Amino acid sequence: MDDWRDDALCRGFPQAWWFPEQGGQFRTALWICAACPSREPCLQFALDEKIVHGVWGGLTEAGRRSHRRKMAGRGRPEGKQPRPADEHQVI
Ligand code: SF4
């Protein structure tokens, strides 16, 4: 079975590097992720599984949140972007 984990460049490096909350060297992790052939499926896995911690697919937790917001915005029909006030409107 073809699994993106088989080509993961992070294999062989200390796992803690991908977890800044564990004192990881996430800048090194991001650098390694940038060259990883499994970057896309890795990121998709983290998004699908709603993984909160660590660096996945070259994005930190904050980076994945931003990516999710961007992707959610793309799903809206053209010209139907909500104004900030609309999002908090009580019906
Ligand atoms: S993108 Fe980063 S975290 Fe994901 S498999 Fe590749 S090296 Fe590992």
**For every one of its 91 residues, what pLDDT tens digit does the chain have, with 9 covering 90 and above?**
479 999 999 999 999 999 988 877 789 999 999 999 999 999 999 999 999 999 999 999 999 999 999 988 886 555 454 454 444 444 4
Q: Let me know if residue 66 belongs to a domain.
A: yes
Tell which residue, 58, 37, 31, 35, has the closest CA to residue 46: 58
Number of domains in the chain: 1
Give ligand 1 pocket residues (Cβ under 6 A): 8-10, 18, 32-33, 36, 38-39, 42, 55-58
User: 67 and 47 in contact (C-beta within 8 Å)?
Assistant: yes
Q: Which domain holds residue 43?
A: 8-74
At residue 45's C-alpha, the angle toward residues 43 and 50, to 5°, is: 95
Q: Let me know if residue 15 belongs to a domain.
A: yes
Q: Let me know if residue 91 belongs to a domain.
A: no
**Which pLDDT belongs to residue 82?**
47
User: 20 and 60 in contact (C-beta within 8 Å)?
Assistant: yes
**Which pLDDT belongs to residue 66?**
95
Q: Let me know if residue 42 belongs to a domain.
A: yes
* Residue 64 structure tokens: 């994945």
Which atom of ligand 1 lies closest to the CA of 9?
7
Length of the chain equals 91
Which residue of 3, 25, 26, 32 sits with most ligand 1 atoms within 8 Å of its CB, as the best mutation to test the pocket?
Answer: 32
